[in-house]
Structure 1
Amino acid sequence: MGSLRKSKERSLLIGLVLTLLLSVIILRLFWVQTVNSDEWQAEALKNWVKNEKLKPKRGTIYDRTKEQLAWEEDAYYFVAAPKKVKDKKKTARLLAPILGIDEKVLLQKLQQKKDSVDLRDGSKFKFPSEVYDKVMELRKKKEIEGIYGYQTTKRKYSGNEAAHVLGFLRIDDKPAGGVESTYDKWLRGKEGYIRYIGAQNGMMITDEPEKNRPPVNGKDLVLTLDTRIQHQVELELDEAIKSYQAKGGTAIVADPKTGEILAMVSRPSFDPNNYAATIDDENRQNRAVESQFEPGSTFKIVTLAAAIEEGIFNPDATFQSGSIQVEDRTIRDWNNGRGWGTITYREGVEKSSNVAFVKLGQQLGAGRLVEYINKFGFGDITQKFGKKTGIDLPAEGRGYFFGRSPYPSELASTAFGQGISVTPIQQVAAVSAIANGGIWYKPHVMKEIWEPGLKKRIQTNQPKGRRIIRPETAKQVRELLRGVVKSGTGMQAELLGYGVAGKTGTAQKPDPNGRGYLEGKYVVSFVGFAPYDDPEVVIYVAIDEPSSEYGSVSGGEVAAPVARDILKKTLQIRAVQPSKQMAESIK
């Protein structure tokens, strides 16, 4: 009986304990679900509520003919969950050839003590659909585990042409250089978001999201570039650089009547589709707008225009060529100071006589020469830095000047383009004013901004110009520059039936480590336009440090032929018909 009683007492005790525990649980549940429910519900919502950003589609960039230059295409990125990857060495070995990422790099990522890690290496981060399919096929066959692919978009470029004008997107989708940077606020669009109640796997539990703001896709951009002209310029410049074993070069083709840039090339260059592997300190610079160097004889156009505008230029007046003394400095003509004897100023322009332009600069005087250099968009040479053209591309150079009133010998050298530094785009804008009848236009590469899909044009870049010289002055300068090509230093730029006008330049490069110039190091150039009597295009070509191994490295011998070949194709593309009368006059 005693043992039975003890057994009943134990059962009763256990029952009481269980009843007490159950009561505690019930009270706790009551407390959680009523008194403390708000606090726990808020904590739960932290896990249930999902907030996701919705990325907009970046705008497409077109050339003036509506050919795509840059656009968005579907892509995928991959994430690994290292804890779920059982055979890390095998996984790295299988993925390496598919992703194009070194096997050791992948293995290092898979061995990290993280919940997830992106499978990326430099710019190798976003992959096309065929790569995604191959990775998913390995998962399907259970060859790999713990690897996940997610859809995104990737910026795609038509090639490496116009790379410096376009720029590129970095791996973080931030723009770098070109119109990608300048017009980023238009191209990038506005980010959206979605807020919803979701399960642990991210699936939406409710029928509708709590909050939803769809993304606004970026606007499309139509540039002034013509890909047909751009392609030809790139071919011609590459061939010239290769032929003369040059360090680099740049070329610009512009419409002088609007300031529109039809083509712009800088060498060396890079591939915007693979910028991480192809860009470096040597090729990242857009020489057309960033490089600053002595212009040489192409700058004589400004002095000539100023002298004509001020009424002091007499083409038939004569002077003694060869050399001229200015203070303690002897300035010589480019043919070792031999000159051509007593010649007219017209001949001085055609032969690019330094002496002729020193004399014109002296007749103008410091005040007027400084004024016209400023009018032509270069800035005040009494300041340390010049003036930007305002072209819609980043990192534009300004040019370097004296930072004070120049001495007479410095003013004399400035008159023929020595002792100061300017940019190629400054020279194009200045010569365009001669070509169009005296109006300086702000150069630009953006033509129009459109709604996505080119559905509606919302903005047009209108030409912005100001008159700097009389039409009569511009006409006389054009006729004199025609003589430079017809019978002077620019004869290699002649194009049958079109009447090219222009000016050559052969500028010795200053020594960066001291005073004076580098022996045998030149930037040779040609700037001109065609047809000379009613110019449709302006051309600028500069070749940096061409080798003298194959002969002369003057602007007339090296740059002028390149300009001629570019002009020929450009005028054909723009449907400018050759003149029979012009062809006869050349004969």
Structure 2
Amino acid sequence: MELASCSFGQSSKVSYLQMITAVAAVVNGGRLMQPYLVAEIADADGQLLYHREPTVRRQVITPETSAVMRTLMEGVVTEGTGKNGAVAGYRVGGKTGTSQKLDSEDPAARIASFAAVAPIEEPKIAVLICLDEPHSWTTSGGALAGPVAAAVLEQALPHLGIAPSFTAEEQETLFAVVPDVTGWRTGAARQALAAAGFDAALVGEAERVQSQYPAAGITARKGSAVSLDTTGGYDPAADV
């Protein structure tokens, strides 16, 4: 049983720092880097007092395998369960995670997570978002943690001076603004989302949409799913 569960990661316990370090190694050509907190220290006059050079601990996969993994991780965001991790203008790679909790009294307890890397063609930043026992109608890492990772990248990439992966014309073709369909009948909501370029994922069987996720006004990649809650229950955006 342990051999079988090892194939999907349930025989190992790792910290979040270990996890994001592994993600970075997967996409950076296979080099396992030594994590550190402080890159530079400067005084009030701007004089550099300390500088830390990155340290490669060892090669864990080949550059060729790393290139394949970058392609697969981009597919998670463009075609798979991580569409909510998309960031307008940038090529993003991602991996969703929904893990059982070993030490919880609740057998249904989960950790929803999403690891994102951008720009995936030349990675500069990796983000890991983990939600511990989210109070939600879903425990999907892509649905819950994906939008949070996207929001972090949306702020961080321009701040770091990283140029967009796409031209303005390409962005107009690939991305769109999520329309507001709260209060609509589900059929009309589906049609409005389809017209804007999005898929609809219904939660519940009632006739009207009580809440939606991602929220209206968010820029998302065309083809990604907008979850429509018809139950009037939990709004995932409130806890995230």
Shared fold (TM-score, shorter chain, > 0.5): yes
Q: In the alignment, is the contact (CA less than 8 A) between 1:441 and 1:464 conserved in 2? A: yes
Superposed, which structure 2 residues align to 1:131-142 within 5 Å?
Answer: none
The one-letter amino acid of 1:418's match is Q
Name the residue aligned to 1:464: 55
SS in 2 for 1:528: strand
The one-letter amino acid of 1:521's match is A
Name the residue aligned to 1:538: 126
In structure 2, how many angstroms separate the alpha carbons of the residues matched to 1:512 and 1:561?
Answer: 26
Name the residue aligned to 1:100: none
Determine if the alignment matches structure 1 residue 426 to structure 2 residue 14.
no
Superposed, which structure 2 residues align to 1:46-65 within 5 Å?
Answer: none
Name the residue aligned to 2:214: none
TM score, norm. by length of structure 2: 0.65
Name the residue aligned to 2:141: 555
In structure 2, how many angstroms separate the alpha carbons of the residues matched to 1:468 and 1:418?
Answer: 21
Structure 1 pair 458/570, CA: closer, same or farther in 2 (3 Å)? closer
SS in 2 for 1:496: coil
The one-letter amino acid of 2:12's match is I
Q: In the alignment, is the contact (CA less than 8 A) between 1:508 and 1:521 conserved in 2? A: yes
Superposed, which structure 2 residues align to 1:72-151 within 5 Å?
Answer: none
Deviation at residue 453 of structure 1 after TM alignment: 4.8
* Structure having the larger proportion of residues in helix: 1
Superposed, which structure 2 residues align to 1:326-337 within 5 Å?
Answer: none
Structure 1 pair 495/455, CA: closer, same or farther in 2 (3 Å)? closer
Name the residue aligned to 2:27: 435
The one-letter amino acid of 1:464's match is T
Structure with larger Rg: 1
SS in 2 for 1:510: coil
Q: Deviations over 1:28-69 (max 9, x none)?
A: xxxxxxxxxxxxxxxxxxxxxxxxxxxxxxxxxxxxxxxxxx
Name the residue aligned to 2:165: 579
Structure 1 pair 572/455, CA: closer, same or farther in 2 (3 Å)? closer
Deviation at residue 532 of structure 1 after TM alignment: 1.1
Structure 1 pair 445/563, CA: closer, same or farther in 2 (3 Å)? same
Deviation at residue 519 of structure 1 after TM alignment: 2.6
In structure 1, stretches of 5+ residues that fail to align are 1-408
Deviation at residue 416 of structure 1 after TM alignment: 1.1
Name the residue aligned to 2:190: none
The one-letter amino acid of 1:520's match is A
In structure 1, how many angstroms separate the alpha carbons of the residues matched to 2:70 and 2:12?
Answer: 24
Q: In the alignment, is the contact (CA less than 8 A) between 2:119 and 2:165 conserved in 1? A: no
Which structure ranks higher in relative contact order (CA pairs < 8 Å, sequence separation ≥ 6)?
2
In structure 1, how many angstroms separate the alpha carbons of the residues matched to 2:93 and 2:139?
Answer: 21
The one-letter amino acid of 2:145's match is A
In structure 2, stretches of 5+ residues that fail to align are 175-220, 223-240
In structure 2, how many angstroms separate the alpha carbons of the residues matched to 1:467 and 1:526?
Answer: 24
Name the residue aligned to 2:189: none
Structure 1 pair 410/423, CA: closer, same or farther in 2 (3 Å)? same
Q: In the alignment, is the contact (CA less than 8 A) between 1:435 and 1:538 conserved in 2? A: no
Name the residue aligned to 1:357: none
Superposed, which structure 2 residues align to 1:435-454 within 5 Å?
Answer: 435-449=27-41, 453=44
Q: Deviations over 1:438-480 (max 9, x none)?
A: 1111111122355x65575443211111322221111110101
In structure 1, how many angstroms separate the alpha carbons of the residues matched to 2:48 and 2:165?
Answer: 37
Counterpart among 75, 84, 90 of residue 492 in structure 1 = 84
Q: In the alignment, is the contact (CA less than 8 A) between 2:25 and 2:33 conserved in 1? A: yes
Structure 1 pair 512/455, CA: closer, same or farther in 2 (3 Å)? closer
In structure 2, how many angstroms separate the alpha carbons of the residues matched to 1:459 and 1:571?
Answer: 25
**Ranges of 4+ aligned residues in structure 1 off by more than 4 Å:** 452-456, 584-587
Q: In the alignment, is the contact (CA less than 8 A) between 1:501 and 1:530 conserved in 2? A: yes
Counterpart among 519, 526, 529 of residue 107 in structure 2 = 519
Name the residue aligned to 2:150: 564
Identity of aligned residues (%): 37
SS in 2 for 1:507: strand
In structure 2, how many angstroms separate the alpha carbons of the residues matched to 1:429 and 1:493?
Answer: 19
Q: In the alignment, is the contact (CA less than 8 A) between 2:85 and 2:146 conserved in 1? A: yes
In structure 2, how many angstroms separate the alpha carbons of the residues matched to 1:567 and 1:546?
Answer: 21
The one-letter amino acid of 1:444's match is Y
Structure 1 pair 458/569, CA: closer, same or farther in 2 (3 Å)? closer
Deviation at residue 419 of structure 1 after TM alignment: 2.9
Cα RMSD over matched residues?
A: 2.2
The one-letter amino acid of 2:50's match is Q
Name the residue aligned to 1:503: 95
Name the residue aligned to 2:205: none
Structure 1 pair 474/456, CA: closer, same or farther in 2 (3 Å)? same
SS in 2 for 1:558: helix
Q: How many residues align?
A: 172
In structure 2, how many angstroms separate the alpha carbons of the residues matched to 1:500 and 1:456?
Answer: 35
In structure 2, how many angstroms separate the alpha carbons of the residues matched to 1:577 and 1:455?
Answer: 26
The one-letter amino acid of 2:91's match is G
Deviation at residue 537 of structure 1 after TM alignment: 0.9
